[in-house]
Amino acid sequence: MRKSNTSVLRSDGLQTLISSLLCILGGLIVGYVVLLIIEPKGALDAIVALMKSFFRFAGRSRMKYLGQNLARTVPLILCSLSVLFAYKVGMFNIGVAGQYVAGACGCLYAALAWKLPWLPCLLIGMAAAALLGVIAGVLKTKCNVNVVISGIMLNWIALYLTNLILGMVKSPMSPYTMNLMGTNPKAKLPSLGLEKLFSSESSVTIAIPLAIVIAVVIYIVLNKTSFGYELKATGHNYHAAKYAGMKEDRNIILTMMISGALAGLGAGLLFLTGIEDWETTISSVPAMGFNGIAVAFLGGLSPIGSILSAFFVQYINFGGGNVDLQVYCSQISSLISSLIIYLCAFVAFFKYIIQLYLRKRKEKQEAQLLKGGEEK
Amino acid sequence: MHETQYAIEMVNITKKFPGIIANDNVTLQLKQGEIHALLGENGAGKSTLMSILFGMYQPEEGVIKKNGEIVKIHDPNDANNLGIGMVHQHFKLVECFSVLDNIILGVEDSQLGILQREKARQKVLELSQRYGLSVDPDALIEDISVGMQQRTEILKMLYRDNEILIFDEPTAVLTPAEIKELLQIMRNLSAEGKSILFITHKLNEIMEVADRCSVLRKGKYIGTVDVATTTKAELSRMMVGRDVEFAVQKDEAKPEQVVLEVRDLSVASKLSKKNAVNNVSFQVRAGEIVCIAGIDGNGQTELVYGISGLEPVQSGSVLLCGKDITHAPIRKRSLLGMSHIPEDRHKHGLVLDYTLEDNMVLQRYFEPEFVDKLGFLRRKNIRTYTERLIEQYDVRSGQGPVTLSRSMSGGNQQKAIVAREIDKDPQLLIAVQPTRGLDVGAIEYIHKQIVAQRDAGKAVLLVSLELDEVMTLADRILVMYEGEIVGQLNPKTATVTELGLYMAGAKKEDV
C-alpha cells in the first residue's frame, strides 16, 4: 500500500500538478498577508471576493462574465503556447510581448484601414508577429545575438511602431483605435451561435474553441511528429542536431517564426472580438506577453497545462477587480493578482521540495528498518 | 591483533536502480599508499560505486569507512572534506572559464572578497611543473584539447591536497608518452603516501602500475587479486567471464575502387591563425581500413570535421564515391553513404536528454520506415528497430529503448552510437576513437565489427590515438603531425618505435 503511494507521488505529471497548486496556495496566502498589513479589517472580504471572481454574480450575469473571461483567456493561452514552443527548442522567447503587440497592429490595421474580413486580418496579424520572431531568430543564428536581448529590444520597437501605425486609424475623440463593430463588422470573429451559451455575451466567438484546438495541435506537433522531434533535438543539443544533418539554423528561425505567429494569433483572437480597442498612447509593453511566460511555467510547460493555468490567471485578474475600493486603493487588485502570478514561477522550486521530501522519507524509513533489524 | 589500515573502505555496498542492480554486495578496500585498480566491463557498476563514494547516490545497503571509522557521505563536499578527489570520466569543467578558474573553483582564496588569483596561479604552476602536467592556466576550457582538459582535472585534485585520489579511466585520452608520464606520476604520488584508486579497462596499465586489483562483473564483486601474482588473461577472464582475444583476426585487405578522396584539404583552426589541417591529400578505398595516427591535437579532429561537414573547409576538395561533397550539407553526405562515429559522443553523438530509441534514429527519423506521410513518427517501428539494435549490439541499459541516454554508462552510449552508424550500411565509415573508454570485451566486439565492415567492401577511415588499436586494425597508417600527413606506414612492417618517431615529428617523408 505504502509502496503504491510513493510511486504515484513520483510521477512527474502529478508532481507538476501539486507544485502548481502549492504555488497558487502560496500566492493567495502572501496576498492575504499583504491585505492584512494594509488594512486588517477588510482583508478577509477582499480575498474571498478575489477568489470568488465572477462567481459572485448570479444567473445570466455569471454566464456573461464567464464568457468574457474565456474570451480574455484565449490570448493568454496562445502567448503561453508561444513561450513554451520556443522553450522546447531551447530559446527563451521574451519577445512574445512584442510579437503580441505586432499581431494586434497587423490585424487592427487590416480591419480598420483596409476593411478586410476577419480571416485575412487574423493572417496579417500572425504574419506581422511571425516577422518579429524571424528577426530575433535570424539575429540569433547569423550574428549569435541572444534572443532574450533582441526580444526585449524588439518589444519596444514593436510598441512604438504600433502606436505610430494604429495612430492612423485612431478615433478622433480619444486615444483609442476606432471601434471595430462600428467601422468594419465583417472583421469581427464569427461566433457560430456560441454566444447563446453565455447569455449573448458578444465577446464569445470561435476564438475559444480555436485556442483549445491549437493547444492540442501544438502538443501533437511537439510530441508525435518528426518535425517536433527535430526541433526538440536542436533545442537539447545544437551540435548533435548539426551532426545528424538537421538544418539547425533553419530550425531555430522556423521556431521563432511559429512562436511569433502564435503570439500574433493570440492578439488577433482578442482584438477581433471587439472586446477591447488599442490605446495608441500607451508607453509600456502590454503585460499579456509577459503573463504568457508565467502561464507557460505554471502550466508545467505543457500545452494542455497552459489552457488551465491561463484560465486561472485570468480568473484571478478578474477577481482582483472585486476588491472593495472603499477600503483599499485601486492598485491593490493588480498588486494581489500579480503577487499570485509571481508566485506561480515557483513551480520548479516546489517540485524540488517534493522530491527532497520523498528522498528524506525514504532515508528515514531505511534508517528505521535498520534499527528494527538491530533490535532483533 | 594487527589489522591492516585501510585509507578508505566500502563494505557490502548494494545500490539498485529501476530495472537494474548496479552494485550487488560490493566490497572495495583501499590500503594506505597503494595503487588499487578497479576493473570491470562497461556497465559493471564502477561508475555507480564511485558516485556512491562521492555522495551523489546513497546506497541501499553497506557502509563506507575511513581509517576504520564509519563515515556518512551525503554530497561531494563531504567527500572533499574527507580528502577524496576524483578525475571523472566525463570532465566536470566550466567550459567558458579559464583553466586556473576551474582549478580553484569552490576553494577560491579571497581577501575582502577579492579573488587572489596570483597566489593560486603560483601554486598551480608549481604543481604542474612538479608533476609534468603542462597546461596554460589562462586558456579557456572550450578552446583546449581533451587531453589538456584532463590535465586540468588532475591539477584540480592536486590543488585541493586530496589524500585519496580516484582516476576514472584517465588514460583513455592521453598519448602513449603522456600515459607513461601519468603512470610515473601515480607511482610518485603513492610513494608520497597518497592512496590511488585507478579505474581502467587497460590491462597493460594495471599490470604496469597497480599493486592490487578488484574486479566487478555485472554489478557483482568477483574478487581482489595481487597484480604481481596474476596475468592479463586471468584478469580479463575475471572481468568478462570468458576468454578474450586481444588481437582481432583479419585477412589481407583487398582494396577496390576509391570511395573517399581528399585533395589538398585545408581546414582553419579555432585556436590560432594557422590552418589546423594543411594541404592534406589521401584516398580510402573500398575494403580497406586507413588509420590516421597522431598525437592528440595535430589536426585529426579538424580533418574529420572537414570531411564530415561539421566545419567549412578553407580550400581543397572532398569526393565521396566520385561526387564532390566539399560544400554539401551534412544530410546529403549521410544519404550518399557516409557514417560517422564522432570523437565526442556527448557533444555530437547523442542528444543526452532523448531516450535511447530517439537517439537510435537520429540519422534516420525522416525515412519512410520511421515517419508516415503526414509527418507522424512511427513509434512502433522505432521501438522494434531499437530493440533489434540493442539485441544485436548488446547495448545495456536500465529500461531498454526508453532509457534516458544521459543515464547510460559511457561504454554503452558508445556502443549505441556504433550500432547506429554501422547499421546505416554506409559506403564510408569514419570512426574517431571508436573504443575510447571501453572495456576489452567491447573493444574486441567493435574491432570485429569494423573489420567486418571492411570485409563487406566498405571503406573505413579510422582516427585513433591508441597505438595498439592502430597497429591491429589498420591496413595503411597515415601519420598526422601539425596538420600535415608526414608519413605513410605499413603496419606489417613498421614498428611502434618508428610510428612514435613520426608522431612526434622527428621523422618525415613526402607522401
A179 has a pLDDT exceeding 60: yes
Chain B nearest CA to A293, separation (Å): 23
Q: For domain B246-337+427-511, give the fold.
A: Rossmann fold (3.40.50)
* Arithmetic mean of pLDDT, B352-359: 94
- Cβ-based neighbour number of residue A176 at 10 Å: 15
Q: What is the pLDDT of residue B511?
A: 54
* Interface of chain B toward chain A, CB-CB under 8 angstroms: 58, 60, 308, 310, 329-334, 340, 342, 347-354, 358, 362-363, 365-366, 370-371, 374-377
Q: What is the pLDDT of residue B281?
A: 95
Structural domain boundaries enclosing A106? 59-323
Q: For domain B6-240, give the fold.
A: Rossmann fold (3.40.50)
Which one of A219, A237, A251, A358 would you mutate to disrupt binding with B, by most B Cβ within 10 Å of its Cβ?
A237
| Contact at CB, B350 and A237, closer than 8 angstroms | yes
Q: What is the DSSP letter of B4?
A: P
Nearest beta carbon to residue B353 from set A236, A243, A244: A236
Distance, in Å, from the CA atom of B436 to the CA atom of B414, rounded to the nearest integer, reads 8
A347 has a pLDDT exceeding 90: no
ipTM value, please give it.
0.78
| Contact at CB, A226 and B362, closer than 8 angstroms | no
User: pLDDT tens digits, residue range B104-116?
Assistant: 888 887 777 788 8
B184 has a pLDDT exceeding 90: no
What are the phi and psi torsion angles at B111 (to 5°)?
Answer: -120, 125
Give B-chain residues touching A226 at CB under 8 angstroms: 365-366, 370-371, 375-377
A–B: how many Cβ contacts below 8 A?
67
**Which has more confidence, A127 or B77?**
A127
Q: What is the pLDDT of residue A7?
A: 55
Q: Which residues contact B428 (CB under 8 A, 6 or more apart)?
A: B259, B260, B284, B320, B337, B338, B339, B458, B459, B460, B461
Q: What share of chain B is helix, strand, coil (3-state, %, to 5)?
A: 35, 25, 35
Distance, in Å, from the CA atom of B350 to the CA atom of A237, rounded to the nearest integer, reads 8
CATH number at residue A234: 1.10.3470
| Contact at CB, B358 and A229, closer than 8 angstroms | yes
Q: Give the domain-ending residue among A296, A323, A350.
A: A323
A376 has a pLDDT exceeding 50: no
Structure-block grid coordinates of residue B285 = 578505398
Instruction: Kindly indicate the confidence band of residue B408, based on its pLDDT and cuts at 50, 70 and 90.
Output: confident
Chain B nearest CA to A21, separation (Å): 27
Nearest beta carbon to residue A240 from set B349, B374, B376: B349
User: pLDDT tens digits, residue range B7-53?
Assistant: 899 999 999 887 678 899 999 999 988 999 999 877 788 888 988 99
Distance, in Å, from the CA atom of B283 to the CA atom of A364, rounded to the nearest integer, reads 64
Instruction: Kindly indicate the confidence band of residue A370, based on its pLDDT and cuts at 50, 70 and 90.
Output: low
A30 has a pLDDT exceeding 60: yes
Is B246-337+427-511 the same fold as B6-240? Answer: yes
- Tell me whether residue A84 is in a domain: yes
* Arithmetic mean of pLDDT, B270-284: 87
Which one of B12, B308, B330, B346 would you mutate to disrupt binding with A, by most A Cβ within 10 Å of its Cβ?
B330
pTM of the model: 0.76
Instruction: Kindly indicate the confidence band of residue A9, based on its pLDDT and cuts at 50, 70 and 90.
Output: low
**Which has more confidence, B480 or A45?**
B480
- Nearest 5°: the CA angle B31, B34, B37 is 95
| Contact at CB, A226 and B60, closer than 8 angstroms | no
| Contact at CB, B330 and A243, closer than 8 angstroms | yes
- Tell me whether residue A48 is in a domain: no
Instruction: Kindly indicate the confidence band of residue A358, based on its pLDDT and cuts at 50, 70 and 90.
Output: confident
**Which has more confidence, A169 or A59?**
A169
Count of domains for chain A:
2
Q: What is the pLDDT of residue A373?
A: 46
In this structure, the answer to whether residues A334 and A359 fall within a common structural domain is: yes
Q: What is the pLDDT of residue B173?
A: 66
Q: What is the pLDDT of residue B64?
A: 92
- Tell me whether residue A254 is in a domain: yes
In this structure, the answer to whether residues A159 and A35 fall within a common structural domain is: no
Nearest beta carbon to residue A239 from set B60, B348, B365: B348
| Averaged pLDDT score across all residues of chain B | 87
Q: Give the domain-ending residue among A289, A305, A323.
A: A323
| Contact at CB, A244 and B363, closer than 8 angstroms | yes
Q: Give the domain-ending residue among A285, A304, A323.
A: A323
* Arithmetic mean of pLDDT, B212-239: 90
Identify the CA nearest to B25 among candidates B38, B39, B37, B15.
B15
| Averaged pLDDT score across all residues of chain A | 87
Q: What is the pLDDT of residue B131?
A: 74
Give A-chain residues touching B301 at CB under 8 angstroms: none
Q: What is the pLDDT of residue A5?
A: 46
Which one of A7, A12, A229 would you mutate to disrupt binding with B, by most B Cβ within 10 Å of its Cβ?
A229
Q: What is the pLDDT of residue A4?
A: 43
| Contact at CB, A245 and B330, closer than 8 angstroms | yes
> Least CA distance to B330: which residue of chain A?
A245
